[in-house]
Amino acid sequence: MTSAERLFTKYEKTLLICELFSNMKKVDWLDLLVHFHEEKWKKNTCIINHQKFLFHFYIITSGRIKMYNVDESSHKEHTLFLLKNGDVFDLFCLVDGISHKVYYECLDNIKVLAVSMDHLRDWLNKNPVYYKYFLSYTGKIMRTLEENVSQLIFTNISTRLLKLLIGNIDKKSNQLEVINDLPNKELAHLIGSTRAVVNRHLQELKKNGSIAIHRNQVEIKDISLLIKELDKHYKNRK
């Protein structure tokens, strides 16, 4: 078994849900995976070397990584994306070849598949049919950033928190995914707030019976109450 075949067999489930490479055939995966290797990063590892992501591209196969920025004067932190299994980075560096001034922190023990930017760009040039998927995915990322900016400007913190909770509920289990065990500080960084303010709003949701909190674990008790509360916020804005 070649190294590419081994990687495809080992990470097939993750590769098939990787939206950036939508509908990619196995033969093309095997051609691309020749250039990939595995890396492991420990929980709480902070990566501040921007050059690292200028020359390498990663697919997450296990764990969560936050992509964030920090204001140099106030030191306030804002999480731009919470990346998980099947997500990729750094897309911006791949597209424009310019160093991206953001930071990354491992929220769990992380496993990634890594490839040099040059190899990935060469592969794309040889397989231009996949460019449309890269453009589509890039557009989705830009729309997400646009929506996040609009929320920070036009909606209050309570509304942002409700949307964050509802947007991360698994439809099958009706429970939170990805953010369910994050401390309030990390939830605050996702919506442009502070730990104390997020804690206050979570306690209000707990009192009305929509959620329960157990040792930093948020459990959804009644989705309909969360949705009703969000609708109320939108009506009050009119």
pLDDT 10s digits, 206-223: 999 999 998 878 999 999
Tens-digit pLDDT profile for residues 94-153: 888 887 788 999 999 999 999 999 999 999 999 898 888 888 899 999 999 999 999 888
The answer to whether 102 touches 79, Cβ cutoff 8 Å, is: no
Q: Is a pLDDT exceeding 90 seen at residue 203?
A: yes
pLDDT of 53 reads: 74
Intervals of CATH 2.60.120.10 along the chain: 3-152
Rounded to whole angstroms, how far apart are CA atoms 45 and 56? Answer: 17
Structural tokens at position 169: 């509920």
- Cross-strand pairs, 213: 218
The answer to whether 25 touches 8, Cβ cutoff 8 Å, is: no
Rounded to whole angstroms, how far apart are CA atoms 119 and 57? Answer: 10
pLDDT of 80 reads: 93
From 224, 219, 165, select the one nearest 190 (Cα to Cα): 165
pLDDT of 50 reads: 65
Q: Looking at the structure, give the CATH architecture of the domain made up of residues 3-152.
A: Sandwich (2.60)
Tens-digit pLDDT profile for residues 112-128: 999 999 999 999 999 89
Intervals of CATH 1.10.10.10 along the chain: 155-237
Q: Is a pLDDT exceeding 90 seen at residue 74?
A: no
Which range is least confidently modeled, 51-55, 151-155, 160-164, 194-198? 51-55
- Our CA angle for 93, 164, 87, nearest 5°, is 30
Looking at domain 155-237, which of 1.10.357.10, 1.10.10.10, 1.20.210.10, 2.30.300.10 is its CATH number?
A: 1.10.10.10
pLDDT of 214 reads: 87
